[in-house]
Amino acid sequence: MSAKPWKIRRRNFDWGQRTYLMGVLNVTPDSFSDGGEFTQLPLAISRVCYLVAKGADIIDIGGQSTRPGAEPVSLTEELQRVVPVIEAIRDDANQALSSTVISVDTTRAAVAQAAIAAGADIVNDISGGTFEPEMLEVVAQHQVPYIMMHMRGIPQTMQQMTDYTDLIADIQGFLQQQAERAIAAGVAHEKIVIDPGIGFAKTYTQSLEVLRGLSALRALGMPLLVGPSRKSFIGRILNQPDAGQRVWGTAAACAAAIAGGADILRVHDVAEMQDVCRVADAIWRSPNGADWVAWGG
């Protein structure tokens, strides 16, 4: 892996040495898996404490559901959902909590700006800068890491936009193009992470194809994030409509992602996926992977 390491707060990210876990915190009433569970501030903070204690390297906080068909919320509503949680984490007396690395999951430049001011460290943008080009300016201004994902359309329309000439090549081309636009806007190359967007404008078979083709995306020379957690393609394989019951299917998908070269996994079930990462890293990473238990970041 050619990407330069990151150091954010007390956490080191040495790409290629091990897989890092991004724990999901949706402060939304309508997310596909955990909508409504953490909309109250005390519940959200309790959830962050749990994720950090179980080994999350990053906490990804989102105030807008991006499941297929999700309706957008107002800017004011998204800000009111996200910013107080970030502020509460940063103000907490527990140093392990207050120093955790925070990512804000948003497509809006104004939300990214406010989240960074409140203490967010990373911007995670499912649109890859296509919904609001001003997002690239905000990221460049603050020089924070930027995760850009591949998708087509918007959540209401994306599942009708799955006609690709060459799926992996099209994803690679989009991510390369958006990375070049970000760099032109002033975002440092070493701060960009790419995400192929499993389930976003992807059919069941295409989601599987993405997992099989991850290694091709390594050619872009940027850290790779993969987010298969509890998604519908796993539910279809398992005939499991309850997203919360897709943990072990998620484990299999995460192991496949690591085999394909994923650097970060975005997951709901941090404790279980930490075990998956330890074993998969020992198999597929460098010889140091066998000593993953000694990590500390």
Does residue 108 have an active-site annotation? no
* CATH number of the domain bearing residue 24: 3.20.20.20
| 3-state SS class at 59 | strand
Task: Give the whole-angstrom CA distance, residue 137 versus residue 111.
Answer: 13
Whether 270 is in a domain gets the answer no
pLDDT at 88 (0 to 100): 95
For residues 113 and 152, which has the higher predicted lDDT (pLDDT)?
A: 113
Whether 53 is in a domain gets the answer yes
Domain range for 154 is: 18-214
pLDDT at 177 (0 to 100): 97
Residue 241's pLDDT band (cuts 50, 70, 90): very high
pLDDT at 297 (0 to 100): 44
Whether 135 is in a domain gets the answer yes
pTM: 0.92
In the predicted model, is pLDDT for residue 290 greater than 70?
no
Q: Check 108, 246, 266, 285 and give the catalytic one.
A: 266
Does residue 18 have an active-site annotation? no
Q: CB under 8 Å to 268, separation ≥6 — which residues?
A: 23, 24, 33, 34, 229, 230, 250
Whether 197 is in a domain gets the answer yes
pLDDT at 72 (0 to 100): 81
Residue 296's pLDDT band (cuts 50, 70, 90): very low
Whether 288 is in a domain gets the answer no
Whether 250 is in a domain gets the answer no
Q: Tokens 């300016």 label which residue? A: 137
Domains identified in the chain, total number? 1
Q: Check 81, 231, 246, 285 and give the catalytic one.
A: 231
Give the H or E element holding residue 195: strand 192-195
Whether 296 is in a domain gets the answer no
Mean pLDDT of 115-134: 97
Whether 265 is in a domain gets the answer no
